[in-house]
Amino acid sequence: MNPLAYIAKVTVDSLRDEQKKQDAKTVPVPTLAPLGDIPLLSELTPEELSSVAGAMKRHELKEGSVVFDEGDAGGSLFFVTQGLLEVRADTAKLGVVSAGQCLGEFSFLTGDPRTASVRCLENSELLELSAEKMRGVVSNHRRLRKVLFTMYRDRALVNVLPQSSLFEMLSSKDRARLAPRFKLVTLAEGQAAFQEGEHEGALYLIKEGSVVVEVRIGDKLIELARLGKHQFFGEVSFLTGVPRTATVHSLEDGTELLKIKEDELKELLRHHPYMKEVLSRYHLDRVTATADTLKNFLKNGNLEGIVS
């Protein structure tokens, strides 16, 4: 048995033993699907895998039991170590999941509600990892952050992009090709994605959190907009080639942005020219909104320091 599988087996067996003590009952120990063999965990080192497994909660579920329903809050990821489960959306059967696979990764990674329902077709065993527990593990193993983002990018970003007006018309194949071009940028509260006057044409898509767009007039900062999940910004410099016309900073700790560089965005627009029309339309709307904001600012008599 390889080291990852061995550590996973020892950890899961200890979870079972602990639950037996708590429940004061004996449960049959099924054949284990080693966690180290599950694709989403296969890149972890033995130490990282041990920490992840130690943060999991074990569930024994009877045939017919519901793991979660479509629309439920999605704060947990489930790893199947035994059994067979059915995945459905509305009345359509999407597939079955067996030992060695995982459930609920999209909602776990994005924070969105569950997009499908899952129930057991036979007695099953699952290990649950909550987002809260995972944050604790990541704080002790910083490399896990990169592993998690790779998982997010490869599996969930393909589903997130259609929720943005800029990328909604791309085919699923094009979204899959585009996903690896995005880089993850994490901001603390108040930290800037970029500053007014900087020379950079990258585009940003908000994965989690929110940002505020501000411009300085004299000694005053004027708020132009607040943007949230799945919205994009940075198109002005990309379209016009001028330096950044505003400062954008995070409104909350842990805001996560997906950044695509200017040259990669240009290549994307070369193959999908309609996207430039979307960017131009948003640019025009934002210019109009900015003009209205500044007009109100001046109307209120805030003139001091502006002429200079």
Token digits of residue 71: 């629309």
Indicate if 11 and 137 belong to the same structural domain: yes
Contact 134, 55 (CB under 8 A): yes
pLDDT digit string, tens, across residues 204-216 = 988 889 999 998 8
Q: Which residue has the tokens 């999991």?
A: 56
Classify the C-alpha dihedral 166-262-283-305 as positive or negative. Answer: positive
Q: Which of 58-62, 75-79, 111-115, 182-186 has the highest mean pLDDT?
A: 58-62
Q: Which of 9-13, 89-93, 285-289 has the highest mean pLDDT?
A: 89-93
Question: Using CA atoms, how far apart are residues 196 and 241, in angstroms rounded to an integer?
Answer: 14
Give residue 67's pLDDT.
93
Q: Which residues touch 245 (CB under 8 Å, ≥6 apart)?
A: 196, 215, 236, 237
Indicate if 208 and 63 belong to the same structural domain: no
Q: Give phi and psi for 54, each to the nearest 5.
A: -70, -20
Contact 278, 165 (CB under 8 A): yes
**Domain containing residue 209:** 144-299
Question: Using CA atoms, how far apart are residues 303 and 219, in angstroms rounded to an integer?
Answer: 11
Indicate if 157 and 79 belong to the same structural domain: no
Q: Choose the final residue of a domain: 113, 141, 169.
A: 141
Nearest of 165, 149, 147 to residue 157 by alpha carbon: 149
Indicate if 226 and 292 belong to the same structural domain: yes
For the CA atoms of 201, 207, 211, 213, the dihedral, rounded to the nearest 10 degrees, stands at: 30
pTM here? 0.58
Indicate if 189 and 290 belong to the same structural domain: yes
Using pLDDT thresholds of 50, 70 and 90, give the confidence band for residue 25: very low
Structural domain tally of the chain? 2
Query: The domain spanning residue 42 has which CATH number?
Result: 2.60.120.10
Indicate if 64 and 206 belong to the same structural domain: no
For the CA atoms of 272, 278, 281, 283, the dihedral, rounded to the nearest 10 degrees, stands at: -90
